[in-house]
């Protein structure tokens, strides 16, 4: 996948509208469940689909999801199918040929659906960074008893996790993008309408968290410059893809990174499930 294609994958949906969340499963999830039945004899496929379905169930219940494996079909999935059908049916049996044709024909769309989970999360839940319960436990341990300010919080998944862990969090977002994307109208915790620089002025805290700063905009660099003027300077946690789908080139070039055991622990459960390799950074 080219850099241009990767950018397109993360581009905000300007014309999409967030479906209402309700117990009924979306057409996307229903399709995956039908594929799970079709590929019921293939554990590697069922594992991927089960992880997606369970993440959706938890998010629909306004709970943080589990960590995900890499959501890619095995490279040898066609070989697996060929071998399995050969074990079930003798050579020349039309039932085997029919099943082979059915499964082979379904593979391209199945692959597309599994790879589209990030799009589904963005459109259906307004979740851009994938915030799992296990990652939030690590982040809560890092915060300890310190106060936290979350900038650009979106629907507030990080703040929800910290509040569930009884942490003091000020959750802010300027919500300028809500007119273009319905996802910001469905917060999972209280989010104050406040831009990042004003939030820093309003809330002197011990820890500042910034997740998925908009691509190419230099607000992340403005935030870093402002934090550097503070004394004491708060710990600064940044979640994003360095020189990739999030943030500005200037920020990634000018940031000073703290690479130690603490940072490694924060990344232990912040796993990648697709072609976007975002991670947790400690910046100063």
| pLDDT tens, position by position, 80-134 | 999 999 999 998 899 999 999 999 999 999 999 999 999 999 989 989 999 999 9
What sign has the CA pseudo-torsion 273, 171, 256, 177? Answer: positive
C-beta of residue 33 within 8 angstroms of C-beta of residue 272: no
pTM, 2 dp:
0.87
Last residue of a domain, one of 94, 125, 156: 125
Q: Please indicate, yes or no, whether residues 140 and 247 belong to a single structural domain of this protein.
A: yes
| pLDDT tens, position by position, 220-229 | 999 999 999 9
Q: Please indicate, yes or no, whether residues 255 and 173 belong to a single structural domain of this protein.
A: yes
Q: Please indicate, yes or no, whether residues 154 and 119 belong to a single structural domain of this protein.
A: no
What does the pLDDT average to over 44-71? 97
Q: Please indicate, yes or no, whether residues 120 and 167 belong to a single structural domain of this protein.
A: no
- Tell me, what CATH number does 241's domain have? 3.40.50.150
Q: Please indicate, yes or no, whether residues 252 and 195 belong to a single structural domain of this protein.
A: yes
Q: Please indicate, yes or no, whether residues 190 and 273 belong to a single structural domain of this protein.
A: yes
Count of residues making up the chain: 284
Q: Please indicate, yes or no, whether residues 59 and 161 belong to a single structural domain of this protein.
A: no
Last residue of a domain, one of 125, 157, 188: 125
Provide the pLDDT confidence category of residue 9 given band limits of 50, 70 and 90: very low
Q: How many domains are contained in the chain?
A: 2
Residue 236 pLDDT greater than 50, yes or no: yes
C-beta of residue 283 within 8 angstroms of C-beta of residue 259: no
Q: Where in the sequence is the domain holding 42, given as residue range(s)?
A: 3-12+21-125
pLDDT of amino acid 22: 45
C-beta of residue 139 within 8 angstroms of C-beta of residue 119: no
């Amino acid at each position: 996948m080219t850099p241009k294609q990767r950018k397109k994958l993360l581009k905000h949906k300007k014309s999409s509208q967030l479906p209402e969340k309700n117990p009924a499963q979306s057409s996307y999830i229903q399709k995956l469940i039908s594929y799970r039945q079709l590929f019921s004899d293939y554990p590697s496929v069922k594992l991927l689909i089960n992880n997606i379905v369970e993440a959706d169930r938890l998010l629909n219940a306004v709970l943080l999801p589990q960590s995900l494996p890499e959501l890619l079909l095995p490279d040898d999935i066609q070989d697996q199918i060929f071998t399995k059908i050969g074990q079930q049916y003798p050579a020349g049996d039309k039932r085997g040929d029919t099943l082979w044709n059915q499964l082979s024909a379904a593979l391209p769309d199945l692959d597309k659906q599994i790879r589209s989970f990030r799009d589904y999360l963005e459109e259906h839940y307004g979740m851009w960074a994938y915030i799992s319960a296990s990652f939030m436990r690590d982040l809560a341990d890092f915060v300890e008893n310190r106060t936290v300010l979350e900038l650009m919080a979106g629907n507030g998944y990080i703040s929800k996790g910290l509040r569930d862990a009884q942490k003091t969090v000020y959750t802010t977002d300027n919500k300028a993008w809500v007119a273009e994307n319905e996802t910001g109208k469905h917060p999972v915790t209280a989010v104050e309408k406040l831009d990042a620089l004003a939030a820093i002025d309003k809330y002197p805290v011990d820890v500042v968290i910034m997740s998925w700063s908009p691509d190419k905009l230099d607000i992340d660099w403005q935030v870093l410059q402002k934090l550097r003027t503070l004394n004491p300077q708060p710990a600064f946690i940044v979640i994003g893809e360095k020189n990739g789908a999030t943030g500005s080139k200037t920020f990634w070039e000018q940031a000073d990174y703290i690479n130690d055991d603490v940072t490694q622990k924060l990344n232990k459960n912040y796993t990648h499930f697709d072609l976007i390799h975002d991670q947790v950074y400690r910046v100063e």
